[in-house]
Amino acid sequence: MTPRIEAVAIDSLMVRLFDAIDEGNMPWILAASQRLREAFGQQLIDLVPSYTTLMVQFDLAPGEARQRIQHALEGLRPDAGQAGRRHEIPVWYHASVGPELPVLAARGGMSEAEVIRLHCGRDYPVFALGFAPGFGFMGLVDERLATPRLSTPRKRVAAGSVGIAERQTAAYPAVSPGGWNLIGRTPVRLFDREREGYSLLQPGDRVRFVAVERAEFINLGGDDSPLEAQA
C-alpha cells in the first residue's frame, strides 16, 4: 500500500489509496484516518474521507505536511474492526413515502416484499458523508436493486426518506431536493446538532436497514405524511 499524495489546494493534499469503489476499502480508509488525525493533531483543519481518498487540510507548510502524511501511513494496515459502529436503522417501506418502491419492483420483475428483503439483506458500509450534513453514501445494494437516479430530481424530499441511486443507498437527514429513488422512510434523526458527534453515521460505520410496520414507525416518532403532501 503506497498511497499517492496530490496537491489540491494551497493548504490541502489528497491521499489516494484506491482507484475503484469497494467495500474492502473502508477498513484501510479508517485506519489511515486515525493515523492522520494523530500525526497532525492541532495542525489538522479538516479531514475528508471518501470512497477511495482522504483529503487533508492543514495549518502547516505543504512540504512538511506531505512528509508527515508519508510518515504516518508507512506500513499502513487495515483497521481490524474496532473503529466504526454498526447501526440498525428502522425503515417503513411503503409507496406513500417511497414512491419508487413499486417502480423498482416492476423494473426487477419481483414483488415489493422482495425489494425490501434485498435492501435489508446486508450490512452497508458508509463510504462517505456529503451532499448534506449527515447524508451517508452507503452500498453496495444487490445488483437487482441498482437503478439510475431520477431524470428530474424532486424539488422536495421528506426528511428520513430512504433511497437508491445505482448501487448506492442513503437516507436524507433533512428536507432537501433530491434525485434518488425513494422506497421508504426512517423515523431516525440522522443529524442532530445536540448530539455528540452531530451525525449518527460516520465514515466507515456499517448500517443494516430493518423493515418496520407503519405503527412502529409512528411510535418511533416517524412522520407518515405522504411525499406529495409535504410540499
Partner 1 sequence: MSQLRVEASTALCLLQDAGRFGVRHLGVTQGGALDWVAMRWANWLLGNALDSAVVEIALGGFSVVAEQDCVLALAGADLDAQVNGQAVAPWTRFNLGKGQRLTLRQPRQGVRAYLAVPGGFVGEPVLGSCSTVVREELGGLDGQGRALVKGEVLHAAGAVVGQVRSHVPEALRPVYAEKPVLDLVMGAQIGDFGGTSLFEAFNRDWTLDSRADRMGIRLLGPQLVYQGAPMISEGIPLGAVQVPPDGQPIVLLNDRQTIGGYPRLGALTPLALAQLAQCMPGSAVRFRAVVQDEAWREQQLYLLRWR
133 binds partner 1 (CB under 8 A): yes
Number of residues that bind partner 1 (CB under 8 A): 43
C-alpha cell at 49: 474521507
C-alpha cell at 151: 431524470
146 binds partner 1 (CB under 8 A): no
For 9, the enclosing helix (H) or strand (E) is strand 4-9
Binding mask 65-104 for partner 1 (x = CB under 8 A): ----------------------------------------
What's 17's DSSP letter? -
34 binds partner 1 (CB under 8 A): no
Please measure the distance between the N-terminal and C-terminal CA atoms of the chain and give it in whole angstroms: 49
1 binds partner 1 (CB under 8 A): no
C-alpha cell at 138: 452507503
21 binds partner 1 (CB under 8 A): yes
What's the burial of 97, exposed, middle or buried (CB within 10 Å: 0-12/13-18/19+)? Answer: buried
Output the smallest distance, CB 158 to partner 1, in A: 15
Identify which of residues 114 and 131 has a Cβ nearer to partner 1 in the complex.
Answer: 131
SS3 of 118-147: HHCCCCEEEEEECCCCCCEEEECCCHHHCE
Identify which of residues 127 and 217 has a Cβ nearer to partner 1 in the complex.
Answer: 127
Considering only 86-94, 114-122, 126-134, 180-188, which stretch makes contact with partner 1 by CB under 8 A? 126-134
Can you say whether the dihedral through the CA atoms of 199, 194, 161, 184 is positive or negative?
positive
For cell 409512528, what's the residue? 218
The whole-angstrom separation of Cα 164 and Cα 138 is 9
Identify which of residues 107 and 131 has a Cβ nearer to partner 1 in the complex.
Answer: 131
3 binds partner 1 (CB under 8 A): no
129 binds partner 1 (CB under 8 A): yes
Query: Which residues of the shown chain bind partner 1 in the complex (CB under 8 A)?
Result: 6-12, 14, 20-21, 45-55, 57, 61-63, 128-135, 137, 174, 176, 191, 193, 197-199, 202-203
